[in-house]
Amino acid sequence: MSTRRIFMRNGALALVGTSALPAFLSRAVLAAETVAHGKRLVVIFQRGAADGLNIVVPFEEQSYYAMRPTINIPRNAVLDLDGFFGLHPSMSALHDLWKQKHLAIVHAAGSTDVTRSHFDAQDYMESGTPGVKATEDGWLNRALHALPATSDKAAFRAIAMGPSLPRILSGSEPAVAVNNINDFGVGGKNPKAAPMSNTFEAMYEHSVDTVLHGTGQETFDAVKMLKSADPAKYTPAPGANYPRGRFADSLKQLAQLIKADLGVQVAFADIGGWDHHVNEGSTQGQLANVLTTFSQSLAAFWTDLGNLAEETVVVTMSEFGRTARENGNRGTDHGHANAMFVFGGPVKGGKVYGKWPGLDSSQLYEGRDLTVTTDFRRVLSEAVYQHLGNRKLDAVFPGFEDTPGKFLNFLG
């Protein structure tokens, strides 16, 4: 029994597969012999616990203003959604998607585990098994089980934007971590990447099994195809105005990879800067700044995809929300429920989904947090089942009972 693990920590590519070799070979055969429908799921993680109450503001909830005297978003500043909820004013770029009915919101969503640890909560949400630390793989990797690849270029079917593979994409399905596509090199064209290329090619070139060798060759064929598109000279579609910063760059490169027709089915990117214990701000300040980057980047990504956006669903998530009351430092502490965004071509947008629990003291979790009324896995399950077409939800989210009859029905 052997495993494959090729990593370039600070470079462009990390190809990871931790399954036993026979299982990998069987999946390679499946990928080569089948063609799927071309739909893709993109997951965005807001690391640090975003303040859902100041992002999707319940401006008709009187308790909201009483509990946040200095950091609330004034009624006359929110971007009205439905007469009860409104977006933070820094999210005007996503408000346009709402008005076009491509954006849906699930409020009071979160994990059933009550930890207030960033590390544990992120681990549970990426593994898809709240409260279970023994899970070895991530739910987004498991979501690829039983799904055929969209083309014979299976190497890029699962992509993470970053220097190493995140928890959510770890597992038996091959996945690629992309830090910067301009650093890709094949055959010594990029001296920094040449050692990785040579090692990777050497692993397969003497294999007597043509399927395994073919899988390795497909990886390099895909990289060559990408290089031929001259990544450094990539021009986003008209109107796709990416802001500066790591998150925007990640989404711009992801759009390029998708548009290069490399068979992307699932993708992951993250954005930090949400842990505001001190001076969170209101319409301006720390939260407003990160929300501007967040919303403008996602809106640019949507525009950049063009017609491909019709077959794309994007889901955002954060490990937990913030306390309903502001603290003594004009910030918020670790809470419980949060808001999730879902947008894309097949999304039935223009609606806030889920049951709103209320913000009266008697309605708060432990007297301090917005109560979870929608398990985050219910949102993800619908995306996996309805959009990707994976009907084996018990394998994607073990221990969580979910059926189409329990879906929120935000997908058409």
Q: pTM for this structure?
A: 0.85
Rounded distance between C-alpha atoms, residue 135 and residue 43, angstroms: 20
Mean pLDDT of the chain: 84
115 & 19 share domain = no
Q: Is the pLDDT of residue 215 over 60?
A: no
Domain count for the chain, please give it. Answer: 2
pLDDT digit string, tens, across residues 249-267: 999 999 999 998 888 999 9
Res. 191 pLDDT band, cuts 50 70 90 = very low
Res. 31 pLDDT band, cuts 50 70 90 = very low
251 & 380 share domain = no
Instruction: Find the largest Cα–Cα distance for the chain.
Output: 71
142 & 277 share domain = yes
**Of 259, 286, 317, which one is at a domain's C-terminal end?**
259
Q: How far, in Å, are 59, 263, 283, 285 from residue 291 at the CA level?
A: 18, 31, 10, 10
Long-range (24+ apart) CB contacts under 8 A made by 72-79 are 72/282, 73/282, 73/283, 74/282, 74/283, 77/283
Q: Is the pLDDT of residue 22 over 90?
A: no
Tokens 């052997």 — which residue? 2
Tokens 């985050």 — which residue? 376
For residues 367 and 401, the model is more confident at 367
Rounded distance between C-alpha atoms, residue 45 and residue 318, angstroms: 6
Dump the DSSP string for 126-162.
HHT-TT-----S-HHHHTTTT---SSS-GGGSEEEES
- What percent of the chain is modeled with pLDDT above 90? 70
Res. 217 pLDDT band, cuts 50 70 90 = low
307 & 411 share domain = yes
Alpha helices in 210-321 (DSSP H): 210-228, 246-259, 286-305
Rounded distance between C-alpha atoms, residue 323 and residue 390, angstroms: 36
Tokens 């895909």 — which residue? 222
> For residue 86, what are the β-bridge partners?
57, 80
CATH at residue 334: 3.40.720
156, with CB counted inside 10 A (0-12, 13-18, 19+), is buried
327 & 243 share domain = no
Please name the amino acid found at residue 125. Answer: M
Domain of 177, in residue numbers: 1-33+148-259
- Quote the tokens at residue 168: 């959510």
Q: Is the pLDDT of residue 213 over 80?
A: no
Helix (H) or strand (E) holding 54: helix 52-55
343 & 386 share domain = yes
> What pLDDT is attached to residue 367?
97
Rounded distance between C-alpha atoms, residue 130 and residue 190, angstroms: 42
Please name the amino acid found at residue 148. Answer: P
**Of 227, 259, 291, which one is at a domain's C-terminal end?**
259
88 & 199 share domain = no
Rounded distance between C-alpha atoms, residue 320 and residue 122, angstroms: 9
112 & 79 share domain = yes
- Quote the tokens at residue 202: 């050497």
Res. 193 pLDDT band, cuts 50 70 90 = very low
225 & 279 share domain = no
Res. 407 pLDDT band, cuts 50 70 90 = very high
274 & 400 share domain = yes
**Of 259, 294, 321, which one is at a domain's C-terminal end?**
259
Helix (H) or strand (E) holding 323: none
Rounded distance between C-alpha atoms, residue 100 and residue 349, angstroms: 8
Mean pLDDT (whole number) for 145-173: 83
- Quote the tokens at residue 372: 């979870």
6, with CB counted inside 10 A (0-12, 13-18, 19+), is middle
286 & 408 share domain = yes
Q: Is the pLDDT of residue 32 over 80?
A: no
- Quote the tokens at residue 305: 């995809």
279 & 370 share domain = yes
b/e per residue 178-201 (b: at least 16 CB within 10 A): bbebebbbbeeebeebeebbeebe
Dump the DSSP string for 258-277.
HHTT----EEEEEE-----S
